[in-house]
Amino acid sequence: MRIGELAEHAGTTTRTLRYYESLGLLPAARTENGYRRYDADALRLLRQIQTLQAFGFELEETRPFVECLQAGHPAGDSCPASLEVYRRKLAELDDCVTRLVQVRDQVAAQLALAELETAAKVPGGPEPRCELAPHES
């Protein structure tokens, strides 16, 4: 299929496909007149790239998965290099989750402190009220 057809099937742009080709992620054959031609596996490669990017993988991190598919494996994650990328990404995500939990705990502590300080300023008094000015008729 030609580049426009592949882009349409994949829901992307021809510019994106050219970029992937320039990186060596999406090989294209050339016709006699120079048009790009993609085989049936190109859509599979492209879907693998799109799925991994949706998971937050950098474009270069998709390379082992693409190479695995190009080597004839049934899935892009059935090769040792792909599994290693999964392991690295999982460790990266675990680090992010740990940092987010720490920040969340700090924000919760600040909120609790602020609530205590606010309550101490008005001992036994009514909660402050916000009233609108009388509306003129």
Spatial distance between the Cα atoms of 43 and 1, rounded to a whole number of angstroms: 10
What is the mean pLDDT, run by run of 10 residues, along the chain of 137 residues? 94 95 93 90 94 95 96 94 97 96 96 89 62 61
Residue 127's pLDDT is 61
Residue 119's pLDDT is 82
Spatial distance between the Cα atoms of 52 and 62, rounded to a whole number of angstroms: 7
Residue 49's pLDDT is 96
Residue 68's pLDDT is 96
What's the first-to-final CA gap in the chain, in angstroms? 71
Produce one character per residue of 58-88: b if its CB has 16 or more CB atoms within 10 Å, e if not.
eeebbbbbbbbbeeeeeebbebeebeebbee
List the domains of the chain with CATH numbers.
3-120 (1.10.1660.10)
Residue 117's pLDDT is 87
